[in-house]
Chain A
């Protein structure tokens, strides 16, 4: 760490340790060979990983979670793209208004949006289906892809669009040739954010899903309320692995500091 004072280094190290501590504990506990919870584990084994992936109920929950997160992320991004594009390209007031209206849900306390959706799905007589979670998540997390794609669009030089226009490109061609390549990383980034947040969301999923296959967070919480089960630690490790894989991929394929809003380039 160049140029950091010893105190700065200490603060960063302590923060890193505190952020890692609960996760390290859970990951270590998942390696226990016995059914009891020991930390550090008394003897190390991968036994509970076998149990987790061999159990049809856990597998079904993992499948339901992945399905919900994938659909919610595609839906949310598909709705966000025209809004961000309309606001930037046409300076459309309607698009900006839609962007704010769609972001209000994200700014509400989770319990309030959960309440809204539980009453809504009851009112439209469509209770306890998996797709309820998909639509609810897509709506709640819409703010993220709108914001991230907008940042990407603002970085595009408008002169390029004008130039494409002078050379005879219509709006569709300009979008394909100039805009799409520039915003693809932002679109992917927005979709991944929704994917990961939806994968982990508990309250809305719990309140609108009824008695369908519980998603992974719901099953983990139910297991936790019933007492301790080693498999839930395995589920936790599976989550961490998915999150780490998704964001490492983003760092490899995209410029992460820039995607997260850094404007000045970094060397090294």
Chain B
């Protein structure tokens, strides 16, 4: 704010209006709707009712909530566990190979979830036959479809977030001094061991950030569990969208959305505290 502080602020007027109108206002309306009154005609009227929040304690919401968080946690652990060594290897490649990897990762990251879900459904179907080799080995009677199942949804979610995690870890991993694992190697550690015991602790913060990022995005998963999991394995994302789009109960959907965000904020705050306490 040295010279022309006023000019700097004038520049921010349009962005402030945009964010106020398309982020702040919708957030306020969401909260307002979550305590609104839903009358029998299906219209929501302003009120201060907490009845919809009471419904969050029912198994119809708690079970999908538990499924969502379990699925998100499993996705985060697997994706970061795979992405970390892969990012490490990519960052060691020659420039051309590295650029090719980055282009392919960005392309795969930019593919619609719709397409990836469809591709996995095709890949896991009996017709395309990922199970055909098992039949040939005599382990299965005939080719079977591997979806819908929770495993299919988990595999697809890991696939969806993997490029994100690799690109998130890439800056930190590429910045790391390559001599650190070499030093570990001269002291007799194998490359895999050096990565686990020397590199991973240094990159603790980005690894945890990446895992939390995956959890946050995966908790709201909608398409993948809708197509690849059984109805009893559906997630909160599906429950919320059905409250609004099919039952026409916007206040309930809003309360569910607010509930999910509140739970997430609590978990993030707790994990942040945990990582801070553990830090040197």
Contacts and interface: CB of A to CB of B under 8 A. Distances in A.
A22 interface: yes
Contact of A220 (B112, B121, B159): B112
Contacts of A260: 102, 167, 170-171
Interface in B191-223: 191-192, 216-217, 219-220, 222-223
Interface stretch (A49-57, A100-108, A179-187): A100-108
A118 interface: yes
Interface residues of A, number: 94
Contacts of B26: 116-117, 119-120
Contact of B89 (A4, A18, A136, A224): A4
Q: Which of A16, A39, A94, A108 has the most CB of B within 10 A?
A: A108
B118 A98 contact: no
Contacts of B216: 107-109
B257 A257 contact: no
Given A90-B8, A171-B7, A217-B114, A111 B103 contact: no
B12 A98 contact: yes
B257 A111 contact: yes
Given A94-B9, A119-B250, A256 B102 contact: yes
Nearest to B25: A120
A139 interface: yes
A221 B114 contact: yes
| Prevailing SS type, chain A contact patch | helix
Most chain A beta-carbon contacts within 10 A, residue among B3, B107, B108, B264: B107
B272 interface: no
A136 B129 CA distance: 40
Interface string B22-50: 11111101100100000000000000000
Contacts of B144: none
A149 B250 CA distance: 37
Contact of A98 (B15, B113, B192): B15
B267 interface: no
Interface in A15-55: 15-16, 18-19, 21-23, 25-26, 29, 37-39
Nearest to B243: A115
A247 B106 contact: yes
A207 interface: yes
Most chain B beta carbons < 10 A, residue from A16, A37, A95, A109: A109
A171 B6 CA distance: 13
B224 to A, nearest CB: 11
A111 B113 CA distance: 14
Contacts of B58: none
Given A109-B264, A112-B257, A119-B29, A257 B102 contact: yes
A266 B123 CA distance: 37
Interface of B: 1-5, 7-9, 11-12, 14-16, 18-19, 22-27, 29-30, 33, 82, 85-86, 89-99, 102-108, 110-116, 118-123, 127-129, 159, 162-163, 167, 170-171, 174-175, 191-192, 216-217, 219-220, 222-223, 227, 236-237, 240-241, 244-245, 250, 253-254, 257, 260-261, 264
